[in-house]
């Protein structure tokens, strides 16, 4: 388990964030974030008020990376690029998360290393991580400013014959999930988004098209919702292109392997981060070395799968 607890004893009453600063050699900001995340505990209960005075026995929670030996496909003194497997989180979403890409990043480059962008858990492909805070600030800013260009590959349901662009606005679902498990949806009230799509090949037997995807904005689930909107959802997508009941079973982790194939068309989301183009001193263009095209073999026969395009 990457998160561990360590016990400390405080002789003289002191302010919480000052104690964390002095004990861990953190900056004030780092100490306050440490406490705000609930990682300082008194009598087993997290405290989040950074100015609280504390004394006696306390516990602190730390992230201790436990890498599995996944090596970067490219690295220099500033950053690393990994081939993220499908099914692995980029960052732990709770302290109970057993493994994420952050384990590999910090096992290699230490506590100041970090991921610089978001990739959905079931999406595979290129993942960029910084080795130090200066690189992290620059690369995260580059993603936010859209100066880093990304491309993806996807196997989608049906025959998509012509290149097209989607500029449908995307709104985050904040109204609960009573009728749908969609995290985002298309809405005139949403934020601007644009994705270009180019079909590359069609498999008539499986009724699936390989599509190159070029997002020009970075909205949550952007590629997934844009393809679902034109009735060519990504195969294996457990949220967009599935019934409410099937998505519910997936999210509750009660779905069988067979039903995953029947209801979603593949055992994983068939989306892959294929390339990154950016400048960091020099210009870099890096493509994934994984053969995503051959993963077509994971797709369930069209006559056996049930897919919701509406």
Q: Could you confirm whether domain 149-298 is CATH 3.30.830.10?
A: no
Residues 6+ away with beta carbon under 8 Å from 55: 10, 11, 12, 13, 14
Q: Are 84 and 124 in contact (CB under 8 A)?
A: yes
Task: Give the catalytic positions in this structure.
Answer: 120
Question: What is this structure's pTM?
Answer: 0.89
CATH 3.10.290.10 residue ranges for the chain: 3-63
Residue whose entry in the numeric block shows the structure tokens 């890498």: 67
Which part of the chain is CATH 3.30.2350.10?
149-298
Q: Which CATH number fits domain 3-63: 3.40.50.10470, 3.40.50.2300, 1.10.3720.10, 3.10.290.10?
A: 3.10.290.10
DSSP helix, strand, coil percent of the chain (3-state; round to 5): 20, 35, 45
Host H or E run for residue 199? strand 195-203
Please check the confidence at residue 310 and state whether its pLDDT lies above 60. no
Percent of the chain with pLDDT over 70: 98
Domain 74-144, what fold? Alpha-Beta Plaits (3.30.70)
123-174 tens-digit pLDDT: 999 999 999 999 999 999 999 999 999 999 999 999 999 999 999 999 999 8
User: Can you tell me the distance from the alpha carbon of 230 to that of 88, in angstroms, rounded to the nearest whole number?
Assistant: 28
Stretch 82-97: mean pLDDT: 92
Q: Specify whether the CB–CB gap between 55 and 14 falls below 8 A.
A: yes
H helices within 67-132, ranges in order?
101-109
Domain ranges in the chain with CATH number 3.30.70.580: 74-144
pLDDT in tens, 191-235: 999 999 999 999 999 999 999 999 999 999 999 999 999 999 999
pLDDT tens digits for 247-285? 999 999 999 999 999 999 999 999 999 999 999 999 999
């Amino acid at each position: 388990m990457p998160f561990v607890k360590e016990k400390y004893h405080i002789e003289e009453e002191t302010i919480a964030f000052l104690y964390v600063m002095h004990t861990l050699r953190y900056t004030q900001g780092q100490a306050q974030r440490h406490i705000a995340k609930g990682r300082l505990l008194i009598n087993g209960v997290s405290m989040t008020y950074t100015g609280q005075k504390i004394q006696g026995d306390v516990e602190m929670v730390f992230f201790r990376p436990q890498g599995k030996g996944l090596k970067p496909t490219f690295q220099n003194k500033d950053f690393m690029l990994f081939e993220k497997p499908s099914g692995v989180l980029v960052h732990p979403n709770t302290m109970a998360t057993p493994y994420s890409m952050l384990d590999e990043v910090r096992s290699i480059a230490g506590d100041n290393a970090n991921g610089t962008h978001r990739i959905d858990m079931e999406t595979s492909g290129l993942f960029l991580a910084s080795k130090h805070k200066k690189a992290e600030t620059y690369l995260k800013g580059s993603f936010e400013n859209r100066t880093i260009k990304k491309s993806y590959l996807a196997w989608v349901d049906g025959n998509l014959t012509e290149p097209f662009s989607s500029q449908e606005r995307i709104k985050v679902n904040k109204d609960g999930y009573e009728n749908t498990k969609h995290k985002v949806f298309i809405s005139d009230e949403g934020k601007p988004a644009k994705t270009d799509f180019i079909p590359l090949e069609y498999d008539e037997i499986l009724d699936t098209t390989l599509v190159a995807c070029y997002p020009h904005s970075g909205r949550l689930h952007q590629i997934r919702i844009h393809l679902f909107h034109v009735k060519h959802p990504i195969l294996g997508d457990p949220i967009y292109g599935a019934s409410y009941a099937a998505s519910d079973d997936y999210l509750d982790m009660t779905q069988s392997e067979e039903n995953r194939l029947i209801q979603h068309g593949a055992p994983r989301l068939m989306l892959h981060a294929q390339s990154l183009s950016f400048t960091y001193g020099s210009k870099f263009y890096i493509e994934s070395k994984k053969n995503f095209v051959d993963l077509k073999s994971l797709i369930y026969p069209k006559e056996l799968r049930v897919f919701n395009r509406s």
